[in-house]
């Protein structure tokens, strides 16, 4: 499932999540906001919209992120918690972090 945010005729943000058949976990693969559109809450709105649009069987939302990514503050604000550390997770050797949260925490319901 992919959602996009538009600003006029341009796409200014997007989020992509996937659920495997018979799974209750929605995994966020990408979330991106145009640098010119940052600071307006668009990332939060995209995350909440994806959580609301997820199939009913979705109970948990998960994502992986670089340990040094400043977006971690947003994820934690939305109720996501560190589920595991991922040493040397990225191709360049950078560490990652796996976050998980109940869908309801992110959807706001």
Q: Report the percent of the chain where pLDDT is more than 90.
A: 94
Distance separating alpha carbons of residues 18 and 27, to the nearest angstrom = 5
Q: Which CATH class is domain 18-27+41-107?
A: alpha beta
Range 58-87 average pLDDT: 96
Q: Output the CA angle 51-57-58, nearest 5 degrees.
A: 30
Instruction: Report pLDDT for 77.
Output: 93
Q: Is the per-residue pLDDT at 20 higher than 60?
A: yes
Please report which confidence band the pLDDT of residue 108 belongs to, taking 50, 70 and 90 as the band edges: confident
Closest CA to 18 of 5, 36, 1, 42: 1
């Amino acid at each position: 499932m992919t959602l996009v945010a538009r600003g006029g005729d341009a796409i200014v943000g997007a989020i992509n999540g996937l659920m495997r058949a018979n799974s209750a976990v929605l995994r966020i693969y990408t979330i991106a906001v145009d640098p010119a559109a940052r600071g307006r809450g668009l990332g939060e709105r995209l995350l909440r919209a994806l959580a609301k649009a997820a199939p009913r069987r979705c109970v948990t939302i998960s994502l992986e992120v670089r340990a040094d990514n400043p977006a971690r503050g947003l994820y934690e604000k939305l109720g996501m918690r560190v589920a595991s550390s991922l040493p040397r997770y990225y191709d360049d050797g950078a560490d990652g972090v796996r976050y998980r949260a109940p869908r309801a925490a992110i959807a706001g319901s």
